[in-house]
Structure 1
Amino acid sequence: MNENNTGNDLARKVRLIKNMQSLPEEVVIKFIESKGKLIRTKKGKLKIAPKIK
């Protein structure tokens, strides 16, 4: 991913994820900053995969 426009990129990702599921914005931003992965649960909901270190 291009790192030049991180601000725009962040905003774009926030909108993208908010559209996919009604997540609170803080959660979405936290998720993106942690560079985690979104996984789909059995019921089709999106959730943040726990980060494995």
Structure 2
Amino acid sequence: MNLATILESHPGDSPAIISRGRTFTYADLRAQIASLRGALHEIGIGKGDRL
């Protein structure tokens, strides 16, 4: 199982991380990952590239 599978297997409004009084939902995590993926793509980093 990978991170994408885990994130997609939970409802978006379910809490994923609770830290310092703040709750991040699975939808929040998916949005952050999509944003990071877009930023990496913009600078030429894609699937299969090593970081």
Structure with the higher fraction of residues in strand conformation: 2
For the criterion TM > 0.5, the same-fold answer is no
TM-score w.r.t. length of structure 2:
0.38
